[in-house]
Amino acid sequence: MLFRSTPTDPLDVYSANKLLAENYCKIYNHHYNIEYSILRFTNIFGPRQQISSPSLGILNFFIGQAMKDETITIYGDGNQLRDYNYVENAIDALLLCATKEEAKNEIFYLGSNIGTKFKDMVSTIVEAVSKGNIKFVPYPTVAKKIEIGDFIVDYSKLRNSLGWEPKVSFRQGIEKTVDFYKNQSEHY
């Protein structure tokens, strides 16, 4: 499923709060003429993000686990598709939204248009780190309730309106991130 016209229908409190914040932006624009640009990010990863908790970024957390030669747990078969984006790509999009007239009062999806199987993402991390193991387990009940299925973002509005394209691929981003943590992991 390419995520372009899928309704915003949050399955957890975190997602509901993000949607609420977007609505506050629209309300403030309507009542006080305060302009906004909203970027709906997919899984952003990269250097300087904490690697100690999955709630702070799952890719970076998995990198931390692999670097400690730990077992990375995948729920289900790992065939669900996800869209990942390196932090430099996100920064480029944020700067465009902050500086371009065409971004005013708009909502953009930021992704890569590329679906990567969850298990392939983890395998790429283990390969890049040269350590770590993978274990498949059944979904816990709570995690199954909020599993969204395949999630791939169509960023064509961002490309067509602002000229944005991701410059760093998933694989390049993983390698850059791993290189950073090889020298800096004690700080994260």
Instruction: Report the predicted TM-score, pTM, of the whole model to 2 decimal places.
Output: 0.88
Separation between Cα atoms, residue 162 and residue 121, nearest integer Å: 29
**Residues present in the chain in total:** 188
Closest by alpha carbon to 146, among 52, 4, 16?
16
Q: Is the pLDDT of residue 174 over 80?
A: yes
Which pLDDT score, from 0 to 100, does residue 7 have?
Answer: 61
pLDDT, average across residues 88-94: 98
- 23: helix, coil or strand? helix
All structural domains of the chain: 2-187 (3.40.50.720)
Q: Quote the Cα angle for 82-83-85, to 5°.
A: 140
